[in-house]
């Protein structure tokens, strides 16, 4: 567990005190209930939301349905050389973040560009 307070009052290695764990859980649950849902704008999901991609000469991309993951993916083809793909972000906001999530059965990696 991360972020849960550890008591070291009677032991130097520390231990989790049940009241502290309960207070920690209630505090985070209260924040979850009280805070508003974040605004989300999906720019591309490979399925329903399809913006205009700009692609360099000699490169291409296709949307494919992969049955093994039961989802749409975007496959980029650069013909063996470095190419350029970009998606214009016209939504101007100082608080905007771009997040890329990579998932497999074992782990989830999240990358944020700020």
Band (114; pLDDT cuts 50, 70, 90): very low
pLDDT of residue 105: 64
Spatial separation of the C-alpha atoms in residues 69 and 28, rounded to whole Å:
33
Mean pLDDT of all residues belonging to the chain: 70
Q: How many domains does the chain have?
A: 2
Question: What percent of the chain is modeled with pLDDT above 70?
Answer: 50
Q: How many CA atoms lie within 13 A of 37 on its CB side?
A: 3
pLDDT for position 23: 83
Domain holding 106, by residue range, is 54-113
In a domain, 85, yes or no: yes
Q: Per DSSP, which regions of the chain are E strands?
A: 54-55, 60-66, 71-77, 85-86, 98-103, 108-113
> Do 64 and 92 have their domain in common?
yes
d(CA 42, CA 94): 17
Condensed to tens digits (0 to 9), the pLDDT of residues 34-60 reads: 887 777 766 666 666 666 677 777 777
Residues 92 and 63 in one domain: yes
Q: How many CB atoms lie within 10 A of CB 61?
A: 13
């Amino acid at each position: 567990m991360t972020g849960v307070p550890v008591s070291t009052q009677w032991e130097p290695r520390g231990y989790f005190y049940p009241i502290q764990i309960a207070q920690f859980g209630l505090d985070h649950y209260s924040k979850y209930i009280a805070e508003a849902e974040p605004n989300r704008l999906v720019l591309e999901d490979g399925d329903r939301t399809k913006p205009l991609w700009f692609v360099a000469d000699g490169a291409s991309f296709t949307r494919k349905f992969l049955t093994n993951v039961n989802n749409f993916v975007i496959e980029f083809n650069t013909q063996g050389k470095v190419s350029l793909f970009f998606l214009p972000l016209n939504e101007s906001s100082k608080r905007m973040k771009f997040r890329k999530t990579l998932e497999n059965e074992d782990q989830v990696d999240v990358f944020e560009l700020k």
